[in-house]
A and B are shown apart, each in its own frame.
Chain A
Amino acid sequence: MAATQEKPRPLIDDLTRPFWEAAREHRLVIQRCQDCRYFNHPPRSVCNACHSAALTFEPVSGRGTIYSFSVMYQPNVAGFGDELPYLNILVELEEQPQIFLVSNLSEVQREQVRIGGQVEVYFEDVDAELTLPKFRLIA
C-alpha cells in the first residue's frame, strides 16, 4: 500500500453542492424545510419530517455539542494511515436535536474530549477545490 494515499473526497452531487460551496466560503449551511422548518442533514430531496420538497440551505451557528466519539485504530481508510489512532466526534448542532456532523478533533484537544463538550466549527482548506468543515472544543 502506498504511503502517500489521498484521503477520500466528497463526490459532490446536485443535492449536496450548496453545502460544499458554502464550506469553500467558510460558511456552514444546512438544508432546511421551508414548510416545517426542519433541518435535514445529509441533504434530501424530500423533507424527512413533513415530506415537503421545499428545501433550501440556511446558515447555522456552527456551534454544537459532542454526542459521542471514538478512536479509530484500523487503517481502513486511505490517507489516514499516518494519523492512527485518530479521533472521530459526532457533533449534534445546537439548532436541532439529532442533526449531526462528523468531524475529527485535533491532536492537542484529544485529552479533553468528552460527551457533552461544546464545539464550534472551523474550516480546513484541503486544496483549491475542497474545504472541510471541522470542529474544535470551545475553551
Chain B
Amino acid sequence: MSWQGKGKTAIVGIGYSELSRRPQKSLGALSLDACRAALDDAGLPAEQVDGLATFPEAPFHGAGTQDGEQIVSVEYVMNHLPLAPDIRWYAQIETGLIASAVIEGVNALLAEACEYVLVWRALHNPRGRYGAWSGNRAPGDAQFMAPYGCTSIFQWHAMAWQRYMHRYGATRDHLATFVTNSRRNANLNPNAYFYTTPMTREDYFAARWIAEPLCLFDCDIPVEGCVALVLTTAERAVDRRHPPAYIAGYGQNTSRRRALFHYSLDNYMESGHSLASKLWASSDLRPQDMSAAELYDGFSPSTLYWLEAAGFCGQGEAYSFIQDGRIALEGELPVNTFGGSLSEGRLHGMGHIAEAVMQVTDRAEKRQVPSASAVCAIDGSPMLRGSGLVITREP
C-alpha cells in the first residue's frame, strides 16, 4: 500500500540564477533572481507564497556563513521578496541536503500549514582554495585527521573508491564512462556551467589528480548561484503555466551507525537502502519503473554507490552496469540527464530535483527522455547522509 500523500503535492515552477565561478552579483541577489524565475515559471505572484524552506549549509566546513553573501537563509528571502504578508510556515533544515527541505514543504502542504512553498538552494564559491583547512588547532574528531593532512571530504571519498576498486575490480576506465556521459548531457543543458565544453575520455585521463584515485573531473564543479522551485498541493497545481510534476514518494537516510569518523564502504548498501526502501515503498514504484535517475554526484563514485544501494543493479555491479550506453540519454536507464553536479555545477542536489521535474513535464528539450513518466532524484552519499524524491508525470 502506497503512501497516502502520493501525488497530493507537486512542483509547479523551477528557476535558475546564473551559475558561474565568480559572479558580479552577490549570492543574495542571485538567489532572489532564482526565486523570481521560479515564481515566474509557475505563473505565481510572489504575494501568494506563504511557505519557505531551504537547506542553507555552507559549501564546506570553515567556509563563511554571512547571510546574503555566503549563505541565503529563510530570513533573508522573507525580507527581500514581496511574499504573503502572513508567512504561515517555514523550515530551515540542517541535515539531509535539499531534498529534505522539499520533503518538509510536502509535509507542510499535506498538513495544510500553507498553500505555496518556495524552496531554494544557494551555493557560495569562496575565494581561495576550495575546502582548505584553516586553523592550526584541530578540534573534535579532526584532531585525529588534520595532523596527518587528511581533512578534505574528497580524501575520504578517494579512500572509499580505492576500496571499492579493490573489492570489485573497477578501474578509472569504468568511471570515465560515467563522467564523460554526464558531460555529454551537460552539453545539452543551457544552465550547465560546462554547457559549451565537451569532454573526451582522453580529457578525463589527462586531468590532474586531486586525491588519487580521484582526479579533477571526479569532483563536482563549485559554482556560485541558486536554483529555486515552487511547491503546492495537487489541487492548486493544475492551473499553472506548466504541467505539474507530482511528488510520488520520498525517503531520507536513517541508517544507524556507530561512528561517523569516515565513509566506510562497508555500510553503503545498508545505509543507502534505508533511504531507497522508503522511496520505493511510498511511491509504490520500483527502480525498473524509473524513466531516468538523477543520482547525486558530488564525487563521481557516489552515483555508482546509489545505483547499487537504490536497487538499479546489484552490489558491486554499478561500474559494469553503466557501460555500453546503458546510462546514456538513449539508454535503458538515463542517469544524470542534465550533467549532474560534475558538469552542471555544485548545487547540492537541487539540480537533480530540477531536472527530474523538467523530464516528467517534457521540458528538458534536447535532453528529453521520451515520455518520461517517473524520475527519482536522490541527494547525498549513501555513506553519509541523503534524501530523495520520486517525481511523476501523473499524480
Binding site for B on A (CB under 8 A): 5-13, 16, 40-42, 44, 48-49, 67-80, 83, 85-86, 88, 90, 98, 100-104, 115, 132, 134
Contacts and interface: CB of A to CB of B under 8 A. Distances in A.
Contacts of B135: 8
Given A68-B163, A73-B209, A74-B211, A10 B144 contact: yes
Pick the most buried of B138, B140, B147, B210: most chain A CB atoms within 10 A of its CB. Answer: B147
A9 B139 contact: no
Which 9 pairs show the lowest CB-CB distances between chains A and B?
A10-B143, A70-B158, A8-B146, A68-B159, A48-B258, A71-B212, A11-B137, A11-B139, A80-B149
Contact of B143 (A16, A69, A80, A88): A16
- Chain B contact-residue range equals 35 or more
B259 A42 contact: yes
Contacts of B159: 67-70, 88, 90
A6 B137 CA distance: 10
Contacts of A83: 149
Interface stretch (B19-27, B80-88, B261-269, B303-311): B261-269
Interface string B114-143: 000000000000000101110111111111
Nearest to A84: B149
Contacts of A78: 133, 136
Contact of B147 (A73, A85, A132): A132
B213 interface: yes
A74 B261 contact: no
A15 to B, nearest CB: 9
A67 B160 CA distance: 9
Given A78-B133, A98-B266, A12 B145 contact: no
B263 to A, nearest CB: 10
Nearest to B163: A68
B338 to A, nearest CB: 27
A9 B136 contact: yes
A85 B149 contact: no
B143 A104 contact: no
Contact of A67 (B138, B147, B163): B163
Contacts of A12: 143
A71 B133 CA distance: 17
Contact of A88 (B131, B137, B148, B213): B148
Given A7-B147, A42-B143, 4 more contacts: A71-B209, A72-B150, A73-B211, A77-B150
Contact of A85 (B129, B209, B264): B209
B136 A41 contact: no
* Consensus secondary structure, chain B interface: mixed
Contacts of B131: 74, 76
A77 B129 CA distance: 10
A83 B148 CA distance: 11
A12 B140 CA distance: 8
A6 B210 CA distance: 22
A88 B150 contact: yes
B208 interface: yes
A85 B208 CA distance: 12
B191 interface: no
A74 B129 contact: yes
A70 B213 CA distance: 7
B162 interface: yes
Contacts of A44: 259
A76 B152 contact: yes
A88 B155 contact: yes
A79 to B, nearest CB: 8
A68 B136 contact: no
Contacts of A71: 209, 211-212
Contacts of A104: 148-149
Contacts of A79: 149
A8 B209 contact: no
B163 A72 contact: no
Given A42-B141, A72-B155, A72-B211, A48 B259 contact: yes
